[in-house]
């Protein structure tokens, strides 16, 4: 690994690291915020998954989460959103290819060679964080938009691994909306049964634990009625008695202004779940 950035921040250290990912077969970057409490021992970790077009910098620059992570003694980890590199498959559109990994394991060429963001985010990255940083195995996960989709599906597919999960403006039913249909057809092929393995609304019915879902959604979100459809996730949860707290926020859109407004509440929520 190589540290490529380090900045003092709220008594802790905001860092960006580069490493060779064996899962993705390319160089990857991730951001890690170490709160001041990490100097005294291992701390729990909140993983943040960003959305379409983003990388490891969007969350750490725009959300203002470090202040709250320092207050609660929580490590923040924010990976890139896809594999990167000249030999990594890409697309001219912004919603497919590099910057749009969708946190799944691709099965179709040319994507399957590198696009295994599920394995990276759920397995390789946490193992690396817990081996190389003062991080415990107490984990929480959150994300925004495409990253909210990733946070929900990763938590639902890995019972017992995370203490808590939340999402801002998540794509809750990607197999039913344009962004998801385009990406899933490319990465997974045309078998729609395979798509359901990466769809939070579909996974709820067979979830093996009842980990509560905290969903933050702006009512003025420009993608609310075309790409996000949070009511589908609420209906799926109500059908099987899965706990969900869907918070509809008047006037808020899809931007990081929205995330910055409520990230403190989410960090506090996860910190409570991560406490010994």
Which residues are CB-contacts of 19 (< 8 A; sequence separation ≥ 6)? 1, 2, 27, 28, 30, 128
221 in active site: yes
Q: Is 134:140 a contact under the CB 8 Å cutoff?
A: no
Catalytic residue among 145, 164, 169, 175: 145
* Residue 196: other Cβ atoms inside 10 A: 17
Catalytic residue among 114, 242, 254, 266: 254
Catalytic residue among 164, 221, 242, 270: 221
Q: Which two tokens stand for residue 157?
A: 């597919």
Tell me how far apart the alpha carbons of residues 114 and 30 are, in angstroms, rounded to a whole number.
17
Which residues are CB-contacts of 59 (< 8 A; sequence separation ≥ 6)? 31, 48, 50, 65, 76, 78, 144, 259
245 in active site: no
The CA-based dihedral angle spanning residues 209, 66, 44, 215, taken in that order and rounded to the nearest 10 degrees: 0
7 in active site: no
Instruction: Report helix, strand or coil for 63.
Output: coil
Task: Tell me which residue of 47, 66, 50 sits closest to 58, measured CA to CA.
Answer: 50
Say which DSSP state 224 is in. Answer: I
Instruction: Report helix, strand or coil for 48.
Output: strand
Catalytic residues, by residue number, are 145, 221, 254
């Amino acid at each position: 690994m190589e540290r490529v950035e380090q900045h003092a921040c709220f008594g802790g250290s905001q860092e960006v690291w580069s490493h060779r990912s064996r899962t993705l077969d390319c160089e990857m970057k991730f951001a890690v915020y170490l709160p001041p409490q990490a100097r005294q021992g291992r701390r729990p970790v909140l993983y943040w998954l960003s959305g379409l077009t983003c990388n490891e910098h969007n969350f750490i620059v725009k959300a203002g989460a470090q202040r709250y992570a320092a207050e609660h003694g929580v490590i923040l980890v924010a990976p890139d959103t896809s594999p990167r590199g000249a030999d990594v498959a890409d697309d001219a559109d912004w919603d497919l290819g590099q910057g749009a990994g969708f946190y799944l394991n691709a099965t179709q060429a040319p994507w399957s060679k590198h696009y295994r963001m599920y394995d990276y985010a759920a397995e390789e990255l946490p193992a690396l964080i817990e081996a190389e940083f003062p991080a415990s195995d107490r984990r929480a996960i959150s994300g925004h938009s495409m990253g909210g989709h990733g946070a929900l599906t990763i938590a639902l597919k890995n019972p017992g691994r995370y203490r808590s999960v939340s999402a801002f403006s998540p794509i809750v039913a990607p197999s039913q909306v344009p962004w998801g249909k385009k990406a899933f057809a490319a990465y997974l092929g045309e078998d729609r049964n395979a798509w359901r393995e990466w769809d939070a609304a579909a996974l709820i019915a067979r979830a093996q634990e009842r980990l509560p879902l905290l969903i933050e959604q702006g009512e003025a979100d420009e993608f609310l009625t075309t790409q996000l459809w949070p009511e589908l996730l609420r209906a799926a949860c109500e059908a099987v008695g899965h706990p969900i707290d869907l918070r509809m926020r008047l006037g808020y859109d899809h931007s990081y202004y929205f995330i910055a407004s409520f990230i403190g509440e989410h960090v506090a929520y996860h910190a409570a779940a991560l406490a010994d």
